[in-house]
Copies of this chain bind each other. A is one copy, B any other.
Amino acid sequence: MNRIITVSRQFGSGGREVGKRLADATGYAYYDRELVDKVADKTGLRPEFIEKYSEASTSRDFPYVYGRTFVHYQHTPEEEIQRVQFNAIRELAEKGDCIIIGRCADHILRDLDPFRVFVYSSDMQYRIDRCLLKVPEDAVKTSKQLQKEILQVDKQRKKYYEYYTGGQWGQVESYNLCVDTSYTGIKKAVELIVAAL
């Protein structure tokens, strides 16, 4: 059976970087934005549109818990993106060892027994500082603004995850290892995940 690591993460905690370095350390394939292109190919939708809805919750009020594939009643465009994305995740996971960032992959692939990691930062300042480094020079943003944006993205991810999985995002039981990058740093976080495999 293929070895699969799913990396869920708080915004600004360095989850993507942890995932990339994990791919370097293990030699596993790495899927993050690559999934956006795959969904774009299959749906004909523009990547920017897909990226926008890639981890955003839909407008329905009831939870949308699903099995291996989607039930084909009439989808909203966002749900159609999810359906294609979810099937793409399964295809990739069946191809070989891999690391998948976000997108409910832990839940979608649960029958394949993935190693489920959650990357977070108990220190909000660490996340703000990481985000500040990435803000373009001409876009002046205060720490307060960034904190608001960070919390907003997390709220969206949580809503999205809970809508599609019925599980709890950021709750320990949803994962096998939860690492605080503001304590360990990125490098040590990767070492711990590799050691736990």
B172 engages A176 (CB within 8 Å): no
Interface-lining segment among A32-40, A134-142, A177-185: A177-185
User: Using a Cβ–Cβ cut-off of 8 Å, how many residues does chain A contribute to the interface with B?
Assistant: 23
- Give the dominant DSSP class at A's interface: mixed
A177 engages B179 (CB within 8 Å): yes
Q: Which residue of B lies closest to A179 (CB)?
A: B177
Q: Could you list which residues of chain A lie within 8 angstroms of chain B, going by C-beta atoms?
A: 115-116, 118, 120, 122, 170-180, 183-184, 188, 191-192, 195-196
| A-B residue pairs in contact (CB < 8 Å), sample of 15 | A116-B122, A118-B178, A122-B172, A122-B174, A171-B171, A175-B178, A175-B180, A176-B180, A176-B183, A176-B184, A177-B178, A177-B179, A178-B178, A183-B196, A192-B196
